[in-house]
A and B are shown apart, each in its own frame.
Chain A
């Protein structure tokens, strides 16, 4: 299946796939070159390079969606959720693996069931719960919902990993007189570091890009996250592509930079996250 060396067949296959890759990149090409053109030029010749660079679109977009503010909102919500998820998810998974009981079995089964439940199945009553708890238009409300929604998958990932961690180290620590919280923080946490990276990467992408939950919970403009800000911008300036494309580029810049820098971890995270269930 894997060719020993480069034959002409491999070269042809490579060329075909490179062609597809260029095709995959064309949307980015269109968006970037047109984000630097004035409005009239976009409509007249969308395929050609800009005659001169109109950076004004960017400063305009930057102001209109209040980029610094919404970037900070996204960052804050994602970071706090991730920290809580890793702590609570690893604690829960470790306890489920090491202290199996009827309750943990039921809990774990419930988590699996939650993973295949589409969000729409709980969306409507959930909003009622959030409203009655006075969490509408609060970041805490959104974070709590993320915790409920993302904990099952996080526990599932840690659970699979911890099962393969040898118990001997922990047993030795008990004999040496370590308490359970000490064992967890000084022995278990370092041992499951690689799964923590996977959890962080996978959940970061999901939470950073999530749209429906912020749409339902954060209606106030100064709480908006990036996807929400871009969406409400489009609601206001339909078809003003000069502002809109610059907004799109700004909106995707942070996550693309994150991906390019962390690429190795993202790829291995995807691989580790796809263990068969």
Chain B
């Protein structure tokens, strides 16, 4: 194949993806870095250079952005633990020889195929009307709490919806992984007389680290970006206490038209999310073992 022909073919095969990538990801990303040093209040207006002012503003005066960050961190961490523990336990049960395996798998996965906006609205109804009906019926005080009405319950309501939605997905990954574990390793441990909890902590868990890395990574990236569920469930309320970073940036840019400030927030967000994700993958990958 001569060089000209190869160049033409390479352009055909790689060209479209490269153009889309540059236009939609690379160019916006780098121009976003530029905009974060400007004041700019309309998509068509021209940005004005203001140096580091936006960043100083974010860390000095924007207590809501920092609060949103803190909320997102707490929410992500709580969801990370809850979803992974539940998914792992469900997976351990669903690999057993039980008849209800198929339907159970379907049910746990079902919430995951529905869009976040719809899920948020569904749960708004459940928390307000459904829970109060259950409360009247059972007199359990947990149902009579103002679930979307206080910062604390608002936090947990979002955790509940997120967990409900994500568990099935992780469970599928854990099931596939557990079925792949070499049963000889377990038998060997059992013959050596290892009790069940040792078997779990010293054999099953270490062997599952590669699946855990993937699942932690997935929840981390989903929860950090959470936008649509929160928007339709609480819209960040009450008193902006459940506002995620994604929601905060969205409001900054598209409700208040502060595009320069919004870009600066995006950049801070990108750097923090990026470092936390890389840190997580690095930490859990270190614990992975080959078997």
Contacts and interface: CB of A to CB of B under 8 A. Distances in A.
Max chain A CB contacts within 10 Å: which of B43, B137, B224? B43
A243 to B, nearest CB: 12
A38 interface: no
Interface size grouping (class) on chain B: 35 or more
Interface string A254-270: 01101110010011001
A95 B97 contact: no
Nearest to A126: B28
B28 A118 contact: no
Interface in A77-121: 88-89, 91-92, 94-96, 99, 103-104, 107, 110-111, 114, 116-121
Nearest to A133: B23
A252 B108 CA distance: 16
Interface residues of A, number: 97
24 contacts: A1-B181, A2-B95, A2-B97, A18-B100, A88-B16, A89-B17, A91-B16, A92-B16, A120-B266, A121-B266, A123-B253, A124-B35, A144-B20, A152-B25, A180-B1, A205-B112, A208-B115, A210-B115, A216-B254, A230-B118, A241-B129, A252-B118, A260-B106, A266-B113
B178 A118 contact: no
A209 B26 CA distance: 24
| A-B residue pairs, 8 tightest by C-beta | A148-B24, A209-B115, A46-B133, A121-B270, A47-B133, A125-B28, A95-B13, A92-B17
A129 B210 CA distance: 39
B129 A274 contact: no
- Chain B: interface secondary structure? helix
B186 interface: yes
Nearest to B245: A120
B80 interface: no
A153 to B, nearest CB: 11
Contact of B126 (A14, A30, A127): A30
B269 interface: yes
Contacts of B108: 21, 24
A259 B178 CA distance: 24
A171 B84 CA distance: 45
Interface in A118-142: 118-129, 131
A245 interface: yes
A260 B31 CA distance: 43
B115 A148 contact: no
A212 interface: yes
A273 to B, nearest CB: 9
